[in-house]
Amino acid sequence: MNIKISNSHLTATINLKGAELTSVVKNSSKRNYLWEGNPKYWAKHAPILFPIVGTLKDNCYTYKETTYQLSRHGFARDMNFELIHHTESEAHFSLQFSTETLLVYPFEFELQVKYTLVDNKLVIGYHVTNNSICEMPFSIGGHPAFALAKNIENYSLFFKDDSKLTSYTLKNDLLSEEKQVIELKNKSLALHYNLFVNDALVIKSMNSKSITVMENEKPILHFNFQDFPNFGIWTKQNAPFICLEPWLGYADTDTASGNIKEKEAIQLLQVNCSKEFCYSIEIL
């Protein structure tokens, strides 16, 4: 089931499955800035990554001497959310723990996701609550894919506050100690498929909290992510999209202990506490 929100500038569509954003259309041009989800390349649009980001070593982790299996990026993206609030320009969704989730993630959580249109901007908010009787480890992230209407060489990414990026290399979906420094030209990264021969660019930290997508050197959208210290950039070979991924957390290393509370970049949420994070997509 799809839920629509709109204002005078934009119309956005969200699927109850995964509370996944599936389109962001500029009303004046009818252009959809989000990837269409063609399964020839990648069947998703903008999945929510929770309660982990990336891949666990051996696809499992331990907590209190018990081993749990958890697949890449967690389970939220594959589960049906409940619509708890809906107005013309806002939609609010909730996913709560269940017998099913407790088998792979033994914590009583609630994940709320809010989509709000404000003028030419779509704000995506995450609200994570720990209703367990113990501290709750988690990661969360976004994975929106933006459609490339032209060949990828027509696009670049402008990083407001960086002149270079440090990317860590993925090997067999795990983070290695190898890294590469990518020099930016006038703070811009020219896009081409060779950047992604080893999968995503994984950036543990950078100064910029805003990225501008440029099409033929003209800005077409601003991507703002103040609450997220880690970042991924990804596409598949020859696919007409680019993913900009704000993260709190990232994949395991091949030397990870497996203890979820020792996982690099894991978040720890105290009992009866909540944390909020948001990012936004501004269509120009």
The CATH number of the domain holding residue 24 is: 2.70.98.10
Q: Closest Cα to residue 277, out of 31, 40, 53? A: 53
Distance CA 133, CA 283 (A): 42
User: Predicted confidence band at 166 (pLDDT cuts at 50, 70, 90)?
Assistant: very high
Specify the pLDDT at position 167. 97
* C-alpha to C-alpha distance for 84 and 91, rounded to whole angstroms: 8
Residue numbers of the domain that contains 214: 2-283
Threshold 0.85, pTM exceeds: yes
Residue percentage of the chain with pLDDT more than 90 = 99
Q: Residue 139: what pLDDT?
A: 98
Higher pLDDT, 254 or 43: 43
pLDDT at 8: 97
User: Alpha carbon 279 to chain centroid distance?
Assistant: 10
Q: How many domains does the chain have?
A: 1
